[in-house]
Amino acid sequence: MGVRLMVVDDHRLLAEALASALKLRGHRVLAAAAPAAGAAELVISRAPEVCLLGTATPAEPGTFDPVARIKRERPQVAVVVLGPVPSPRGIAAAFAAGASGYVRHDERIEGVERAIMKARAGEAAVAPQLLQGAFGELLNPAAQPDDEGQRLLQMLTPREVEVLVRVADGEDTRLIAAGMGIAPSTARTHVQRVLMKLGVGSRLEAAALAARTGLLERAGPLPHTAPVPPARPETGAAGPQ
């Protein structure tokens, strides 16, 4: 017995081709609509047994909001997501929103039909190879991309980080020394070490690199330092004449 279903995908040609293939296999396809923004309203108004809902970005926040709304207002509708090879987070997000299955866009029509029948029967419809891939990524996660800002921050001592923040704020050696309560010669040494560790040749380059890599945001605000009191004027040793 054919399934009463809908196909909703951003790619109209893909949606229409899938709908035509499913009709040839004896299913009643109510609509093949492209706009993702109106997917929930369309499905809620037609109330099919199964909805095939396409997405190109399964890992982005909010992608499965239409699924959640459909399940909230039409809980009897089984939603099967059509998408690219998902990350574990993408599969988890789809099922957390209430989806009954996840099928790759390039799945053969036989695999799509199996997912439809499982979803209508109340079963989870996910191809074993997708689950194997998801578990494999969870067990052996790919290395995270190099975070240059964090790497540079780890190269500097807390004192040098403060010096870099002050350099980025435009302070000269005298102001750095006064703000940190150190001698100007010590401040100058700290600046030179910061430039050397960052691999730059000037304070301007250091400030630009820190801003580009987000190092300044990671460093946080400068520590509070008490203002340096002005030096007292020297008095002569001799008394009044």
**Tens of each residue's pLDDT in the chain, 241 residues:** 689 999 998 778 888 889 999 999 999 998 777 666 688 888 999 999 999 998 877 777 788 999 999 999 999 999 999 888 767 777 888 888 999 999 988 888 999 999 999 999 999 888 777 766 665 555 555 544 446 777 888 888 989 999 999 998 889 999 999 999 999 999 999 999 999 988 888 888 888 888 888 787 777 666 554 444 444 444 444 444 4
User: Is the separation of the CB atoms in 93 and 59 below 8 Å?
Assistant: yes
Return contacts of 15-21, CB within 8 angstroms, 24+ apart: 15/54, 18/52, 18/82, 18/109, 18/112, 21/109
Nearest in space to 205 (alpha carbons), one of 191, 217, 219: 191
pTM over 0.95: no
Cα separation, 4 vs 241, whole angstroms: 114
Q: Where are the alpha helices (DSSP H) in the chain?
A: 12-24, 39-46, 65-73, 88-96, 109-120, 128-139, 148-155, 158-168, 173-180, 184-198, 203-212, 215-219
Task: Count CB neighbours of 66 within 10 A.
Answer: 24
Show the tokens assigned to 141: 């996660």
pLDDT on residue 96: 87
Task: Count CB neighbours of 174 within 10 A.
Answer: 11
**What residues pair up with 8 in beta bridges, in sequence order?**
33, 53
Q: Look up residue 28 and give its DSSP letter.
A: E
pLDDT on residue 58: 76
**What residues pair up with 101 in beta bridges, in sequence order?**
80, 125
